Amino acid sequence: MIKRLVRSAALLTPILLLTTSVIAQEQQFADLGDFRLASGEVIKECRIGYRTFGKLNQDKSNVVLFPTWASGTSEQLKSNIGRGRLVDDTRYFVVAVDALSNGVSSSPSNSRRQPRMSFPKITMADVVNTQHELLTKILHLNHLYAVLGVSMGGMQTFQWMVSYPDFMDRAVPIAGSPRLAPYDLLQWQTQLDAILHDADWNQGNYTVNPARAAEAEFGALLLTTPDHFNQESSREKVFAEIERGKADSHFDANDKIRQVQAMMSLDVSAPFKGSLEEAAARVKARTFVIVSTKDHVVTPGPALEFARLMKARLLVLEGDCGHLAPSCEAGKVNPAVAAFLSD
Amino acid sequence: MIKRLVRSAALLTPILLLTTSVIAQEQQFADLGDFRLASGEVIKECRIGYRTFGKLNQDKSNVVLFPTWASGTSEQLKSNIGRGRLVDDTRYFVVAVDALSNGVSSSPSNSRRQPRMSFPKITMADVVNTQHELLTKILHLNHLYAVLGVSMGGMQTFQWMVSYPDFMDRAVPIAGSPRLAPYDLLQWQTQLDAILHDADWNQGNYTVNPARAAEAEFGALLLTTPDHFNQESSREKVFAEIERGKADSHFDANDKIRQVQAMMSLDVSAPFKGSLEEAAARVKARTFVIVSTKDHVVTPGPALEFARLMKARLLVLEGDCGHLAPSCEAGKVNPAVAAFLSD
């Protein structure tokens, strides 16, 4: 990796420590310079967005890394951070990090030198590697107490566990996957095709619109379950809701494509000739795997298999909320995570 | 309705009766002339395709109408007809009928005078009205022993029960619906949008391609369940399977649009100010409702509600096959249907 650090590490550390109370929770950026990807391609002037919550303790032993879900930002993680929430920032120093291509960190939509589809393809390992560099080179944190993430954040958590097994004590992948099941690959490909076949896209309007329908419609179709959807919606309001969803979606189609490709590329077993068993054997973190049996976005099979191989602690959510079960069943999930982290 | 019959009824009847053994199972067509739709629009030179199986008995009391599912043809129904299958043509005279806009009956893809999107929108009531005219005016059958259909065929069955309550003794809607649940409306709208936003479609290539992806990808996503899909497929072969599905799909995008709109228009309660209860009270047929709890194409709520209101016989399939449960669980369904019909 090219590690051209724009900020001086020696300069940054005291600034960070002195100003934590001021800049905590605010959007910050780490400039990683030109960042070499596993493919050999380079993200030019790579920038990683993050926010910190809580206080770093004296021996830097209370850091929890909290990466974003797909199409999500560190700002959206805020509501999951706090006492009684998913991560307690009165106990932990939480680094909420914007995954590559989320429109905040370097992304097709914001890259001056590699705009739109000239932005290179990234893998989940690349996403994690940028975060490792953020932590070690910019924040001077050489160890994490835990990595914890939901959905694509759970995928990053699995990747972290295998890419940097000595780097954390604990890991909590929630509604995540160590490699996508066939159904998941199919549903993402269908979303990609919806964008790539879109007339707006093909006319060079490479912006928001083609992603809106995919986000709104596939979100509604797959995020929960048909049973849950039919209970919450009605014949009268379903289309108004979808139109509102489209209007509310501002996620760039280019950014979505690169994140979807990163998820589809995810396979923690790849360095081990496809053996999930060998990948699991590499993990040193104590792990708490949380899945939802009716999850239609990240189907739970691969995470369950990995949990079994690792003999990890496991929480299986059975409700109708599907992929959204971790928030629908927050009353069950949040205390279980808190107990695991303080155990 | 305009009932300009092209073939003379007096001429047709003896031909039908004399040649049943010769032309049975072969594709036949009834010319209904210009057919007026509920909207007031007209299908010009309306033609309805059908096939007959088995023998009409002396008092014409053994007729079973078997309409097609979405994107399906009467040819595709063949494998469901026979002793031990869904409908036994050794006992019943089966009229398998091609629903409007299936590419065999009058459709955007085959209408000379109303090609492509100049073909009028149709409703499920229109579809059933053409079949009523086929039966009464062409085949001179004024009563059915039963109507039985699967999926969109089950929707037609519900529509038949309410539109022509005196016309049949029994009805067997399988994986059908009396009006679509919000989830069903959403998934069809998503398929419509996939076609209507498609670049090929917008460049005027109004043919097969835009429908292929929708048929193949949404078929794979929704026809069974994620669990079933992940058991049957693999990470290695999932995309080859989808490409094969696209290559195998020859259903015209225009035809698909009009059938999807017909399904979305379905609401047997519409003439009763939205009261399913009043619609159910109108039904005279003894009814056997079959649903699949994990059906993600035709979610079972509305059919279950209608069955409850009618106090109909009910079979609830619980397996992982989702919308395909009636064929996956044919060993349970076929004998249950046979028992109901001979009861």
Which domains does chain A carry? 9-177+267-342 (3.40.50.1820), 183-261 (no CATH)
User: Given this model, what pLDDT does residue A324 score?
Assistant: 96
Residue A81 class from Cβ within 10 Å (0-12 exposed, 13-18 middle, 19+ buried)?
Answer: buried
CB pairs under 8 A between A and B: 110
Interface of B with A in 163-192 (CB under 8 A): 179-183, 185-187, 189-190
B229 contact A CB<8A:
yes
Q: Which residues of A touch B235 (CB under 8 A)?
A: 179-182, 185
> Which residues, in sequence order, are CB contacts of B242 under 8 Å at separation 6+?
A186, A189, B216, B217, B220
Interface of A with B in 11-70 (CB under 8 A): none
Instruction: List the one residue out of B327, B197, B311, B38 whose CA is nearest residue A191.
Output: B197
User: Given this model, what pLDDT does residue A79 score?
Assistant: 96
> Which residues, in sequence order, are CB contacts of B206 under 8 Å at separation 6+?
B116, B117, B253, B254
Flag if B182 and A221 touch (Cβ within 8 Å).
Answer: no
* Bridge partner residues of A149 (DSSP): A173
DSSP B223: S
Dihedral (Cα; B185, A329, B291, A189), 10-degree rounding? 50
Q: Which residue of A has its CA nearest to B217?
A: A190
**pLDDT tens digit sequence for B224-278:** 999 999 999 999 999 998 888 888 878 899 999 999 999 999 999 999 999 999 9
- Whole-number Å distance between alpha carbons of B117 and B78: 30
How far away is chain B from the Cα of A257, in angstroms, using its nearest Cα?
A: 17
- Whole-number Å distance between alpha carbons of A155 and A124: 8
The radius of gyration of chain B from alpha carbons, rounded to an integer in Å, stands at 19
What DSSP element (H or E) covers B93?
strand B93-97
How far away is chain A from the Cα of B297, in angstroms, using its nearest Cα?
A: 9
Q: Cα–Cα distances in Å, from B13 out to B17, B140, B152?
A: 6, 7, 29
Helices (H) and strands (E) in chain A, counts: 15, 8
Instruction: List the one residue out of B186, B177, B300, B182 whose CA is nearest residue A231.
Output: B182
Encode B214-227: b = buried (16+ Cβ within 10 Å), e = exposed: bbbbbbbbbbbbbb
Encode B114-125: b = buried (16+ Cβ within 10 Å), e = exposed: bebeebbebbbb
Instruction: List the one residue out of B335, B320, B325, B225 whose CA is nearest residue B288.
Output: B335
Residue to substitute from B227, B269, B273, B316, interface A, most A β-carbons within 10 A: B227
Q: Which residues of A touch B299 (CB under 8 A)?
A: 226-227, 230
What is the identity of the amino acid at B227?
D
**pLDDT tens digit sequence for B49-85:** 999 999 999 999 999 999 999 999 999 999 999 999 9
How far away is chain A from the Cα of B171, in angstroms, using its nearest Cα?
A: 26
Successive 10-residue mean pLDDT values, chain A, 343 residues: 34 44 82 98 98 97 98 97 97 98 97 96 98 98 98 98 98 98 94 86 71 79 94 94 84 93 98 97 98 97 98 97 96 98 95
Helix axes B253-265, B182-196, angle to 10 degrees: 160
**pLDDT tens digit sequence for B138-174:** 999 999 999 999 999 999 999 999 999 999 999 999 9
- Whole-number Å distance between alpha carbons of B3 and B1: 6
How far away is chain B from the Cα of A213, in angstroms, using its nearest Cα?
A: 8
Q: Which residues of A touch B301 (CB under 8 A)?
A: 230
pTM of this prediction? 0.90
Q: Which residue of B has its CA nearest to A264?
A: B235
Flag if A198 and B198 touch (Cβ within 8 Å).
Answer: yes
Flag if B185 and A239 touch (Cβ within 8 Å).
Answer: yes
> Which residues, in sequence order, are CB contacts of A316 under 8 Å at separation 6+?
A291, A292, A293, A300, A304
ipTM, two decimals? 0.88
Flag if A230 and B202 touch (Cβ within 8 Å).
Answer: no
Helix axes B124-133, B253-265, angle to 10 degrees: 100
How far away is chain B from the Cα of A185, in angstroms, using its nearest Cα?
A: 8
How far away is chain B from the Cα of A317, in angstroms, using its nearest Cα?
A: 15
Q: Cα–Cα distances in Å, from A37 out to A2, A228, B113, B154?
A: 9, 40, 58, 53
What is the identity of the amino acid at A181?
A
N-terminal to C-terminal alpha carbon distance within chain A: 36
- Whole-number Å distance between alpha carbons of A40 and A43: 10
**pLDDT tens digit sequence for B203-226:** 776 666 667 777 788 888 999 999
Of A182, A185, A217, which is closest to B193 when you measure between CB atoms?
A: A217
What is the identity of the amino acid at B84?
G
